[in-house]
Amino acid sequence: MATNVSTMAGGIDPLPGIKWRLQQMGGALMAASFVEVILGGFGLLGFILRFIGPITVACTISLIGVSLYRLPIIYGRPNFIVALCCLLLVLTFVLYLNKVKLPLPKCGKGKNLKGRPRFAIFQLIPILLAVVIMWIASWILTLCNVFTDDRNSTAYKARADAKLDIIYSSNWLQLTYPGQFGAPKIHIALTIGFIVACLSSVVESVGDYYAAEKACQLGSLPDHAISRGILVEGIGSVLSGSVGAGHATTSYSGNIAVLTLSRTGSRVVMYVAAVILIVASLFGKFGAALTTIPNPILGGVLMVIVGALLTIGLSNLQHVDMSSSRNMLVVGVPFMASMSISYCLELYPEIIATGVKDLDRSLHVMLSTPMFLGGFLAMLLDNTVPGSLESRGMKHWQSQDESQRNKENDDIFTWSFYPTLVKVFPFVVSLPFMPKLISHDSENILDGDVESPTL
């Protein structure tokens, strides 16, 4: 759903009913997001992380991938051949051509002529390259009338021009501002549902952070970096609710999968991506053009991303002793229970009937969310069933104490201007979400004797 008035067809405001729903969603999201702000801003995650281990993270992230198994089918339904071709292209680029480097044009003249550099394009942008190739192919097939022109047919969505109306109905310039759909409203059941989603997101994000750390080959994550990440996610979600977006801001495990595949972990890339997104949000037609990608192409990409998402979750079990019957049940029961209960509620939603509508809705949301239910059960079993830290995989996570982790990694998880900031505002080092050390000697920060780490 478009959440900006200027993106509506003909520039007409949404119907009052839609505005009312967006106001409720925005209010519930803002209220629930303050949970993340509190967890990250006050450093409460340091205590909670004692109970969240590899098994909990693995179940939560993997269940996200399992719960999305229908998406590739839904998007690929208009034309499974196109979806399969896109899938094969991505797999070919990632698995077979990842080490192939294409030559670039030579630079300079005469004596200053430099050697021809080579670019590992298939490793860096495999998904984008596959999407562009299949998008061009879809346009060719559309112009050749290979796809049906019947708008009522499901196969019509395979056409490259099926969503052009979105571009025509979008304004060139659009501004998003808080309260554009009216003042946010609080609905108890909806707020509880968003809180459940936020708590699931926190567990997922912690797993994403560790997965990103593994992909970038960094040392152990300091607690302040995790707290800062959750804090920023919470602030972003509050802003998202204030503008009526209706969805939270969080780390996306699919992007971690792309990070793992492309091996691109530079923060500069993230800065550029953020600028592109901001520009795209200001120019409506540019952002609308990105939504015109044919559904089958998205279906093929989702097959890879959802599959990688599942394996990223399972990769957290590499240090868990899965030959232990204890761990096998602690992992297997949450998987089976969460999927079975959510499917049961999908078939028989009336099974929850306490007589209080808000309570029924809240219970339905909690029990029908596999990643929350599975993550909660995994954490409960993992912390109550007797087992050694080594067999649970916790010993690997806790292999270094906090002081050692900070000394080794704060240069990585900080910014070049941080020493200057500390000199001006010394109290920032006492904030639980800020680095305590950026060198092996913490006192050098306040003395200004430490060279600033580069980005």
Which residues have CB under 8 Å from 147's CB, separation 6+? 79, 141, 155, 156, 158, 159
Q: What is the pLDDT of residue 233?
A: 92
Q: Are 339 and 370 in contact (CB under 8 A)?
A: yes
345 or 436, greater pLDDT = 345
Residue 446 confidence class, pLDDT cut points 50, 70, 90: very low
First to last CA, the chain: 37
Which residues have CB under 8 Å from 293's CB, separation 6+? 131, 135
Q: 176 and 62: one domain?
A: yes
Cα gap 195→30, rounded to integer Å? 10
As a whole-number percent, the residues of the chain with pLDDT over 70 amount to 84
Mean pLDDT of 365-394: 88
Residue 410 confidence class, pLDDT cut points 50, 70, 90: low
Q: Are 354 and 363 in contact (CB under 8 A)?
A: yes
Q: What is the pLDDT of residue 12?
A: 45
Establish if 127 belongs to a structural domain.
Answer: no
Q: 272 and 319: one domain?
A: yes
Domain boundary among 376, 397, 418: 397
Cα gap 38→230, rounded to integer Å? 9
Q: What is the pLDDT of residue 448?
A: 42
Establish if 312 belongs to a structural domain.
Answer: yes
Establish if 205 belongs to a structural domain.
Answer: yes
Establish if 222 belongs to a structural domain.
Answer: yes
Q: 359 and 412: one domain?
A: no
Residue whose tokens read 């099926």? 162
Q: 349 and 428: one domain?
A: no
Q: 434 and 320: one domain?
A: no
Q: 216 and 317: one domain?
A: yes
Q: Which of 119-133, 281-295, 432-446 has the lowest mean pLDDT?
A: 432-446
Q: 386 and 413: one domain?
A: no
Q: 288 and 424: one domain?
A: no
203 or 392, greater pLDDT = 392
Establish if 6 belongs to a structural domain.
Answer: no
Cα gap 416→396, rounded to integer Å? 30
Q: Which of 7-16, 158-167, 172-181 has the lowest mean pLDDT?
A: 7-16
Phi-psi region of 21 (alpha: psi -120 to 50; beta: other; left: phi over 0): alpha
pLDDT of 256 > 80? The answer is no
Domain total in the chain: 2
Establish if 121 belongs to a structural domain.
Answer: no
Q: 377 and 256: one domain?
A: yes
The residue range of the domain holding 72 is 14-80+172-397
Establish if 109 belongs to a structural domain.
Answer: no
Q: 334 and 443: one domain?
A: no
Establish if 376 belongs to a structural domain.
Answer: yes
Residue 113 confidence class, pLDDT cut points 50, 70, 90: low
Q: 318 and 422: one domain?
A: no
Smallest CA-to-CA distance from 251 within 208, 281, 282 is with: 208
Q: How far is CA 282 from CA 270, 286, 290, in A?
A: 19, 9, 14
Residue 15 confidence class, pLDDT cut points 50, 70, 90: low
The pLDDT tens digits for 166-177 are 888 888 887 888
The pLDDT tens digits for 136-164 are 999 999 999 999 988 889 999 999 999 88
Q: What is the pLDDT of residue 400?
A: 46
Q: What is the pLDDT of residue 10?
A: 42
Q: How far is CA 92 from CA 65, 66, 253, in A?
A: 22, 24, 22
The pTM of the full predicted model, rounded to 2 decimals, is 0.75
27 exposed, middle or buried (CB, 10 Å; 0-12, 13-18, 19+)?
buried
Which residues have CB under 8 Å from 161's CB, separation 6+? 142, 292
Residue whose tokens read 């104490």? 401
Q: 345 and 422: one domain?
A: no
